[in-house]
Structure 1
C-alpha cells in the first residue's frame, strides 16, 4: 500500500489535531473576512496545478464566499475525472469536495498548521473527527507521500437539503515518504489496496459552502475497478 493506510471514519480520533481543529471553531465556515482567497484551479474538480483560466465562473456561491487558500506541494497532485455535470448544484458540491480533498492532502504532505482553517471550513461534525484522525495517523507514524491521486466515478445525489457524494480514489501513482528523512520509496508496487471508495454527506451552510458532515471510506478494489 502506497499511502491510504488508514480509512476515513469518525471514532478513535487523536486529540492533538482534533484540539486544534475543534477548539478553534468546530464545523463553522468562519468569517469571510478571515479566510484568504482560494488559489485557482480546483473549482471544477481540476488539479490545483491547472492554469487560472480553468477556474469556473458558474458557481454563484463560490463567487460570493471567499474560499481558504490551499497551495499543494509541488510533488503532490490531484486529477479529477468527469468534469462538470451541467447541474449547478451538483457542480458546486463537487467543487467544494475537491477543495476539501486538496486541503486534507496538503495538511498531510505540507504545512498542517496553515491548512487547519480550510479543514474547519469544509468539514464539521463526524467528518471533522474523521479528517482529524486520518491526518494525525500520518504524523503519528512519521509518514507522508508524493505523487498523483486520481479521483473518479464521482456521483452526486441531492435531496432534502443535503447531498450524498460517492467517489473512487486511485493512489497507485503515489509513493510513501518518510517525514523525518524526506526519503521517498518509489520501489513500492501498486496494489488493490491503493483503491479507496468514499461515501460523503454534505450540507450547504449559510455562506453557500457545501460542508462535509459525514464521511466513510473502505477498500475500493471491487467498487472502483
Structure 2
C-alpha cells in the first residue's frame, strides 16, 4: 500500500474532467512521459500567492512528515500563485490527517466542491483506520496551464519511494522503494476565489503512471 494508491481510490470519486491545453484527460494517462523536472526544491509559502494579504489558516505537519515541492518558481507570478496554493492544499490534507479531522479550516480553505469531498474521503479513511505515514513525499514535474473559463489546471507527479506507511490496526510498516506504484500522476483543476486563493475543485489520479516513473 502506498499513499498514492489510497489517494487514487479517494480522488477518483471527484470525477473525470478534460484538461484542455495540457494533453490527456481524466487520470492523465498520456503515452508521453513527462520530461524536464526542475531539480530545485522549494517549500511553498503564502507570500508566493497573489492573495498574500489574506489571513490563511495555520498548517502544521508532524515532524516525521516532509512534503517536498519542486518547480515552485516558474517566472510567471500567476502560475507561481497557483503552484503555491496547490502545495498548500496538499499540506492541508496531511495537516487534517494529523489532527484527525475532516473539517479543519485549512482543508476547506484550499479545496472546494468535489475537490473538498475527495480530500475529506481521503482523510476519513486514514483517521478511521488510525493509519500514519512518515518520510518524504516528493512532488515534481508540476505544470500549470489556464483554461478559457479562467480555471487553472495543474498536472504533477508524486514520488513516495522514500515514504513509509504504518497500518494503524496491525502496526505493520510498509515501504515501497523501487516499486512502480510509488509514483502517482495527478490532474487537478483549481478555481480562484474572490479573495485570490486558488482552490482545488477537481482531482483525478493514476497510481503507477508511466509518465512519473524514474
**TM-score w.r.t. length of structure 1:** 0.73
| 1:115 to 1:68, Cα distance in 2 relative to 1, 3 A | farther
| 1:168 to 1:133, Cα distance in 2 relative to 1, 3 A | same
Structure 1 unaligned regions, length at least 5 = 12-44, 49-54
1-side partners of 2:208 and 2:176: how far apart?
Answer: 19
Out of 186, 192, 199, the residue aligned to residue 204 of structure 1 is 192
Query: What does 1:134-149 align with in structure 2 at a 5 Å threshold?
Result: 134-149=122-137
| 1:172 to 1:210, Cα distance in 2 relative to 1, 3 A | same
Equivalent pair of 1:106/1:115 in contact (CA under 8 Å) = no
Q: Which residue of 2 aligns with 1:47?
A: 43
Partner-residue secondary structure (3-state), 1:4: helix
Alpha-carbon displacement from aligned partner over 1:172-194 (angstroms, at most 9, x marks no partner) = 1111123367x562665441111
Equivalent pair of 1:176/1:186 in contact (CA under 8 Å) = yes
Q: Which residue of 2 aligns with 1:2?
A: 2
Corresponding pairs, count: 184
1-side partners of 2:165 and 2:109: how far apart?
Answer: 28
Q: Which residue of 2 aligns with 1:81?
A: 70
| 1:102 to 1:84, Cα distance in 2 relative to 1, 3 A | same
Equivalent pair of 2:185/2:205 in contact (CA under 8 Å) = yes
Query: What does 1:107-186 align with in structure 2 at a 5 Å threshold?
Result: 107-108=96-97, 110-113=98-101, 116-159=104-147, 160-179=149-168, 183=171, 185=173
Correspondence 1:65 to 2:54: yes
**TM-score w.r.t. length of structure 2:** 0.77
2-side partners of 1:58 and 1:142: how far apart?
Answer: 34
| 1:141 to 1:157, Cα distance in 2 relative to 1, 3 A | same
| 1:141 to 1:209, Cα distance in 2 relative to 1, 3 A | same
Measured on the aligned residues, the alpha-carbon RMSD in Å equals 2.5
Deviation at 1:158, TM superposition (A): 1.3
Partner-residue secondary structure (3-state), 1:168: strand
Deviation at 1:10, TM superposition (A): 2.3
Query: What does 1:10-29 align with in structure 2 at a 5 Å threshold?
Result: 10=13
Equivalent pair of 2:4/2:207 in contact (CA under 8 Å) = no
